[in-house]
Amino acid sequence: MQQPVRRVGNNTLAIYTLWKREVVRFLRQKNRIVGALGTPLVFWLLIGSGVGRSFQSPHGQNYLIYFFPGMMLLILLFTAIFSTISIIEDRREGFLQAVLCAPISRGSIVVSKLLGGTTLGLLQSLLVYFLSLPMGIPFSFERFLGIVLSLGLLGMAMTAVGYILAWPLDSVQGYHALMNLFLMPLWLLSGALFPAEGAYGWIKTMIYLNPLYYGLEILRFWLSPYSTLEQGKLILYCFITLLFFIAVTAVSIWVTEKVKVRHP
């Protein structure tokens, strides 16, 4: 019994240590904070103000409020990107090789990375949320709890997607290429910029096939006073988002166990 207990203790300590390293590393790199937080805010203000009254809503909804949940999702996306790029940097510096040689499970590496990226994304998103309350964003304890849980689940899932892309790569430039090819379209086709109902047929199909759409609708339910999402659909969307999180986390662990990393 002593050996399994010791292994669990090693994994727990490793998760905490790697998570703490991720948070401290982020806070020391001010440019990452500006990039992960500033870019979505610029998107929100420029696109939201540019569309302005051109956005037609049956509820008289302001486009800035409609786009707000999508901007929060974009913060999670950029945080996931910056967090998982460090996998490639750690490989170049030799840190990842040292972690892989440690007496810990590969799953603990995945968990620490997902927790680190989610923590950073959640803190930044909540900061923007509180600063935006005077603009008409509703607030209550129930809504706040729903927002935290939604952001946490989406943050874990998006960090896992970034992890899957970053693990087999040895080039930051290659990661950026995959980001532009896969991660950004994933966000664009989530319904963040425009409702799925008014899109062309094939675009609408792509949006409904995108698991981020259902997570964003959950987030919009808690953030927007105009959401008409029914309770039955809310439960279904939560279930789909949870399945998405479980699937990408399982793939992350499988990739870490089976795919050999390239050494520069």
pLDDT 10s digits, 197-248: 777 778 888 989 999 999 999 998 998 877 778 888 999 999 999 999 999 9
pLDDT digit string, tens, across residues 113-171: 999 989 988 988 888 888 888 877 888 889 999 999 999 999 999 999 999 998 888 88
Burial class from Cβ neighbours inside 10 Å (0-12, 13-18, 19+) for residue 107 reads middle
**What does the H/E/C string look like for 148-171?**
HHHHHHHHHHHHHHHHHHHCCCCC
Which of 86, 81, 75 is CA-nearest to residue 39? 75
Evaluate whether 37 touches 130 at the Cβ level (below 8 Å): no
Domain boundaries, the chain: 2-258
Q: Name the residue with higher pLDDT: 86 or 3.
A: 86
Q: How far is CA 231 from CA 203, 218, 227, in A?
A: 26, 10, 11
Total Cβ atoms within 10 A of residue 254: 13
Scan for tokens 């990107």, then name that residue: 81
- Residue 5: pLDDT band with limits 50, 70, 90: very low
Q: What pLDDT score was predicted for residue 124?
A: 87
Which of 176, 150, 24 is CA-nearest to residue 75? 150
Which of 23, 25, 18 is CA-nearest to residue 112? 18
Spatial neighbors of 163 by CB under 8 A, at least 6 apart, are 84, 87, 110, 113, 114, 252, 255
Segment 172-189 shows an average pLDDT of: 84
Q: Which helix (H) or strand (E) holds 229?
A: none
Give the side-chain half-sphere CA count within 13 A for 264: 14
Which of 147, 120, 135, 144 is CA-nearest to residue 32? 120
Report field, pTM of the whole predicted structure over 0.85: yes
pLDDT digit string, tens, across residues 66-120: 888 888 898 888 888 888 888 888 888 888 888 878 778 888 889 999 999 899 8
pLDDT digit string, tens, across residues 27-38: 787 776 776 677
